[in-house]
Structure 1
Amino acid sequence: MTSIMTNTAAMAALSTLRSINSDMETTQDRISSGLRVGTAADNAAYWSIATTMRSDNKALGTVEDALGLGAAKTDVAYTAMENSKDVVDEIKKKLVAASEPGVDKSKIQKEIKELQNQLISISKSASFSGENWVYNDTNNTAATKSIVGSFNRDAQGNVSLTTLQFDTNKSSLIQVDSTGTNVTNGTGLLSSNMEYKDATGSTVTAGYSVLSMDITNMTTGALAEAISGVDATLLQMTDAAADLGALNSRVELQKNFVQDLSDSIEKGVGRLVDADMNEESTRLKALQTQQQLGIQALSIANSNSQNILSLFR
């Protein structure tokens, strides 16, 4: 039946054209944004996962910055430890030289005093971002320091942080009290009274530290004891430098891991929500062709009503 009131052919063509235009709009949005899943309406599950992982990736970016800060702190402390160790080596050489008969110990003491001042200067200068891991006073006490190492999310969605820890009591070179006086029985390797093992294996404690040592009036035997004490201090400093070096290596490894992890997460999110531009461009061309055909079909359907007029001529 042909009706001028209800044009079913035009209605069908119009419905098809609406569907084509809707698909074309979706495809154009994907091409312009580069995303296959841009909103929750596109795919709620993938959108939720992508949104959460993007947030976690931002947190990992902050972790990477924290690791960079931690690496800087350990670098500064390690540099101070290495340079201090070299200076203490020089002091040890001066003590050996002072053990020679006829040497003017007072002149050598002047050299040692300058080296002691250099040790103080190195320790005080080894500060980064307000933290000094080798010089401790009442405002900067030795303690366990934490470096944020990673951001974690478990299967239940609970989040946590992994931290790398280091006890700065191990790296303390100089410890002073509230008056600025060296603490002789503290954790400072250079400010505490020296200890060493004698020939029998017994621990001997000297009445002075590397920083307070004065050889002006020392006997040959006392100089030998001083050399043993300085040598023992050097071994402790070597151990401390090894600990700092190990931490620095761990921080660097963790930093590289976090960078790789962040890249992997970004790739994973991309696989979930990114649009395939080759596929979308092909679909757009097909939809453009369908749109032209749909418009042509609608035009034909509308012309059917005009054909009815010829029956009444």
Structure 2
Amino acid sequence: MTSILTNNSAMAALSTLRSISSSMEDTQSRISSGLRVGSASDNAAYWSIATTMRSDNQALSAVQDALGLGAAKVDTAYSGMESAIEVVKEIKAKLVAATEDGVDKTKIQEEIDQLQEQLVSIAEAASFSGENWLQTDLTAAGGSEVKSVVGSFVRDASGNVSVKKVDYTLDNTTVLFDVGGDTGILDAQTSIEQDSITLTVNKDGVETEVTVVSYTTDDVIADTGSVFTGDSATGGGRSYVKVGNDTWVEAVDQSTVATQEVAYNDGTTSWAIDTTKVPGTITTASVADLSINNSTTTGQLDQLIQMVDDALTSMTSAASSLGSISSRIDMQSEFVSKLSDSIEAGVGRLVDADMNEESTRLKALQTQQQLAIQALSIANSDSQNVLSLFR
């Protein structure tokens, strides 16, 4: 039936054209945005996953920035520690040189003074973004302070998220200077004892080891009014006996300690070792403020050298820890970069449009649209044909 009121052919052609136009809009949207799933209406599940993972990827980008900042802090601290180690090595070498006979120790101290000032300069300069890991107020921090570097952003199987950190503890084994006290590696005070020697003495037939103050021949001579009689000497209020090569100890008249074996008989007096003369603390010193002069004994220098060597051991350990953290940050930064790329690629597989496929589809839809328009044009012309029936 032919009707001028209802044109079924035109309606069918129009419906087809509308469907093609809608498909073209979808295809053009995918081509322009590059996304197959651009909104939740396209694919709710994929859109939800992609949105969540893009959010995580942004967090990972922030982690990469934080790792860069953390690496700068660690590298600054490591560079400072490495430089400080070299300076402390020089101080140790100067002290060893001071043990040589005839050396002017005051001149060596002048060099040590400059090295100590350099240590302070290094510690003060080793700061990045307001963070200084070589000097801090350990006293105010309760003895230790934990510094953290952001390491990673983690989402577990339950969907819970957390930020993992790399910790580095500032304490008396890692900090060079404690600005609130004297507990850092370089400003920690060490007791310097009097020179001593451990001897075996015989009391009532029982041999006992005792540690007593020792003196060199020069020390004995320096004692006001020293008078030598063989291997014994008396000075300004003290008496001495020789117990080794250039080694003397204080002595008492054997008759006052009759239970002790005679250490030396000078023909006038029988001398016994004064076992009450135990070594005491002369002074306290640190690597940062140690001081020597021409009266500093070899024994005291040995103690100072040991103190500096102990500091070097602590500094080397701290530098090793900083180096390990730096290496870990580098590895973590590389991993985060690869992880971010993997997440981006995974999201792309879910939501990115296949441009080859979309371009092919667009060409086909354009052809279909042209045909649909032609079909609609033909269908609309049917009503014009009715006029020919009335001619």
Fold shared, TM-score > 0.5 on shorter chain: yes
Is structure 2 residue 313 aligned with structure 1 residue 310?
A: no
Partner of residue 244 from structure 1, selected from 292, 303, 322: 322
Q: Distance in 2 between matches of 1:147 and 1:161?
A: 10
Moved more, 85-94 or 51-60: 51-60
Equivalent pairs, count: 301
Counterpart for residue 43 of structure 1: 43
| Alignment check: 8 A CA contact 1:194 1:230 kept | no
Offset at 1:157? 2.2
Q: Distance in 1 between matches of 2:191 and 2:47?
A: 64
SS of 1:119's equivalent in the other structure is helix
Partner of residue 288 from structure 2, selected from 185, 191, 211: 211
Q: Distance in 2 between matches of 1:165 and 1:4?
A: 85
Q: Distance in 1 between matches of 2:18 and 2:116?
A: 87
Counterpart for residue 281 of structure 1: 359
SS of 1:172's equivalent in the other structure is coil
Q: Distance in 1 between matches of 2:367 and 2:12?
A: 18
| Alignment check: 8 A CA contact 2:139 2:178 kept | no
Offset at 1:137? 2.8
| Alignment check: 8 A CA contact 1:194 1:233 kept | no
* Structure 1 unaligned regions, length at least 5: none
Offset at 1:100? 0.7
Letter in 1 for 2:339: L
Q: Distance in 1 between matches of 2:50 and 2:333?
A: 23
| Alignment check: 8 A CA contact 2:138 2:145 kept | no
| Alignment check: 8 A CA contact 1:134 1:171 kept | yes
Is structure 2 residue 194 aligned with structure 1 residue 192?
A: no
Q: Call closer, same or farther: CA 1:139–1:22 in 2, change over 3 Å.
A: farther
- Normalising to structure 2: TM-score of the pair? 0.74
Q: Distance in 1 between matches of 2:134 and 2:346?
A: 43
Is structure 2 residue 170 aligned with structure 1 residue 168?
A: yes
Q: Percent identity?
A: 64
- Normalising to structure 1: TM-score of the pair? 0.91
SS of 1:163's equivalent in the other structure is strand
Counterpart for residue 101 of structure 1: 101
Offset at 1:156? 2.8
Q: Alpha-carbon deviations, 1:49-87, whole Å to 9, x = none?
A: 111111111111111111111111110111111111000
Moved more, 130-139 or 4-13: 130-139
Letter in 2 for 1:173: L
Letter in 2 for 1:85: I
Letter in 2 for 1:174: F
CA RMSD of aligned residues (A): 2.1
Offset at 1:283? 0.5
Is structure 2 residue 110 aligned with structure 1 residue 73?
A: no
Q: Distance in 2 between matches of 1:293 and 1:195?
A: 101
| Alignment check: 8 A CA contact 2:151 2:163 kept | yes
SS of 2:333's equivalent in the other structure is helix
Higher helix proportion (structure 1 or 2): 1
| Alignment check: 8 A CA contact 1:53 1:265 kept | yes
Counterpart for residue 135 of structure 1: 135
Moved more, 159-168 or 224-233: 224-233
SS of 1:148's equivalent in the other structure is strand
Q: Alpha-carbon deviations, 1:266-292, whole Å to 9, x = none?
A: 111111111111111110100010001
| Alignment check: 8 A CA contact 1:74 1:247 kept | yes
Q: Distance in 1 between matches of 2:152 and 2:138?
A: 31
Counterpart for residue 20 of structure 1: 20
Letter in 2 for 1:208: A
SS of 1:207's equivalent in the other structure is strand
SS of 1:223's equivalent in the other structure is helix
| Alignment check: 8 A CA contact 2:85 2:315 kept | yes
Higher strand proportion (structure 1 or 2): 2
Counterpart for residue 126 of structure 1: 126
Higher Cα Rg: structure 1 or 2? 2
Larger RCO, structure (CA 8 Å, separation 6 or more): 1
